[in-house]
């Protein structure tokens, strides 16, 4: 798996956990990125995390 795909996978997993714990509206992008081990810039670059994860939910 390449780095971009690994980053996306980490972010998806982190986002889903954040949404389950706090709910979609209270989820924090900063927290999602921190828990995934990536910078906020990398997170934003990878994809619009909330919208993608909402669609995957």
Task: Give the residue-averaged pLDDT of 14-31.
Answer: 90
Position 1 scores a pLDDT of 58
Alpha helices for the chain (secondary structure H): 3-22, 29-36, 40-46, 49-56
Position 51 scores a pLDDT of 63
Position 56 scores a pLDDT of 56
> Given CA atoms 45, 33, 41, 50 in this order, what sign does their dihedral have?
positive
Res 7 pLDDT > 80: yes
**What is the pTM for the complete model shown?**
0.72
Task: Give the residue-averaged pLDDT of 4-12.
Answer: 85
**Mean pLDDT over the full length of the chain:** 81
């Amino acid at each position: 798996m390449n780095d971009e795909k690994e980053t996306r996978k980490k972010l998806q997993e982190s986002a889903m956990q954040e949404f389950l714990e706090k709910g979609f509206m209270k989820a924090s992008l900063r927290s999602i990125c921190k828990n995934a081990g990536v910078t906020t810039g990398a997170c934003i670059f990878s994809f619009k995390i909330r919208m993608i994860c909402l669609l995957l939910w």
